[in-house]
Amino acid sequence: MNDFGAETPFNEASEALGFATGQPVGDIFALNALHVDIFTLFPLMFAGPFGESIVARALANGLLSVALHNIRDYTSDRHHVCDDTPYGGGGGMVMKPQPIVRAVETVLTRKAGWALPAADVYTNLPAWDAEQPVALPAGVPVILLSPQGRQLTQPLVAELAAMPRLALICGRYEGVDERVRTQLITDEISIGDYVISGGELAAMVIVDAVTRQLPGALGDALGAHQDSHSPGMGGLLEGPQYTRPFTFRGEAVPDILISGHHANVERWRREQALLHTLRRRPDLLERMPLSAADKLYLAQQGWRERPR
Ligand code: ADE
């Protein structure tokens, strides 16, 4: 037992991934800056991305905990059906509302870290009344991943990283029954204007981007502050980076970087970030704070400021 009162920390899928926070529960939950409940029909998709690198380390260090919930576990019919044909005809299948709503209401009304014990899947589900909406905890966004959501941006990532707990629902097929939207979800997020086969990859993108914002998740002290699009970069794209060798195939590292003149290096980096952004994403320059020196430099590079 721990601060969150979690007795059944993770389900089979989470344990299969070997999440270090899975057991023992102990005090490790007290360290978690963020707990993410992910509702999916394909929990094993998460093994690779969550089993390596920054996210794996954050899980191991107790900065982050994740529980994967298989929506299908919350069906009790013989064939464990989670989708059905659309009313009005048309191609494809639609995700039924009951398994999703049952899974989310069951999990979110319990302490962070709870998951349905493997032995109870299908057969011994906690009581739930399909006709009786359950009040969910305020302050835990219930987010549907879909191409119709608002677009994920770095400010939105920062917003999510400040939450103690998130619920991510991965849509599949032609989408979810509209009653999931009207009755359950509080937010809908897209990772871009293109369609992927389900919300799982989008959920992985969100968890990865959010994890980078958790204090201590990145090795160095600057952390994600200097990432492209981040506040440390003033919303600019990052400029070029170099490491050894000094010359590669006849192309040398810019002399300024070995000048040892810190202020000049910083100014050069700023100008390179401005130049990268001007050439690749000039739209970003329209809505960011620019100093007089920035504007002068950009003007020399051919930028014309548009009236705001
Ligand atoms: N599911 C399908 N396409 C998606 C997208 N672009 N973003 C989030 N979820 C999705």
Q: What percentage of the chain carries pLDDT values higher than 70?
A: 89
Given a cut of 50, is residue 186 above it in pLDDT? Answer: yes
> How remote is the CA of residue 204 from the centroid of ligand 1, in Å?
11
99 SS3 class: helix
Query: By alpha-carbon position, which residue is closest to atom 10 of ligand 1?
Result: 146
State phi, psi for 234 to the nearest 5 degrees: 60, 25
pTM of the model as a whole: 0.89
Q: Which domains does the chain have, with CATH numbers?
A: 12-213 (3.40.1280.10), 228-300 (1.10.1270.20)
CA distance 165 to 250: 51
Atom of ligand 1 nearest to the CA of 191: 7
Q: What is the mean pLDDT of residues 270-278?
A: 97
Handedness of CA 85, 90, 91, 94 (dihedral sign): negative
Q: What is the pLDDT of residues 43-59, one digit of tens each?
A: 999 999 999 999 999 99
> How remote is the CA of residue 299 from the centroid of ligand 1, in Å?
38
Q: Which residues are marked as active site?
A: 147, 174, 212, 227
Strands 247-248 and 83-84: unpaired
Atom of ligand 1 nearest to the CA of 197: 2
> How remote is the CA of residue 196 from the centroid of ligand 1, in Å?
5
Lowest mean pLDDT among 141-150, 192-201, 209-218, 225-234: 225-234
